[in-house]
Amino acid sequence: MNSIALTPQPPYYAVIFTSLRTEGDNGYGEMSEKMVNLASSQSGFLGMESARDGLGITVSYWDSLEAIRAWHRNAEHELAQKAGYQQWYQSFKVRVCKVERDYGFEKGT
């Protein structure tokens, strides 16, 4: 995930997940990796970007709101969400967005 996602021409959708963790790992690292792999295999998944230094920001990209809803309701993901509420997160915010425009830059080599 440590790269800029290769998303298609807009419009598409983004879910911005911003979080503050609780102390300790409590199984988070393993589950987090599992959820990244599982999300990547979902229909309509376009890419994901993630960074944390204290505050964590994960942005996942999707081709439709229906794909986002299906991922939210995925059974394994629902179990992870439950553990997120109970154990892993002090606080979080989820923002569902429509990407209307994008542009990029890559330095010449």
Decide if 54 contacts 14 (C-beta within 8 A).
no
- Cα(21)–Cα(9) distance, integer angstroms: 33
- Cα(11)–Cα(14) distance, integer angstroms: 10
Beta bridge pairs of residue 10? none
108 binds its own copies (CB under 8 A): no
The dihedrals phi and psi of 56, each to the nearest 5 degrees, come to -105, 135
- Contact pick of 34, 51, 64, 79 for its own copies (by CB under 8 A): 51
For residue 15, the minimal CB distance to its own copies (Å) is 10
- Contact pick of 31, 46, 59, 67 for its own copies (by CB under 8 A): 59
79 binds its own copies (CB under 8 A): no
For residue 36, the minimal CB distance to its own copies (Å) is 14
Token pair recorded at residue 88? 């892993």
Q: How far is CA 61 from CA 43, 54, 82, in A?
A: 12, 23, 22
50 binds its own copies (CB under 8 A): yes
For residue 38, the minimal CB distance to its own copies (Å) is 21
The site for its own copies (CB under 8 A) is made up of 1-5, 7, 10, 14, 16, 18-20, 22, 49-57, 59, 85, 89-107
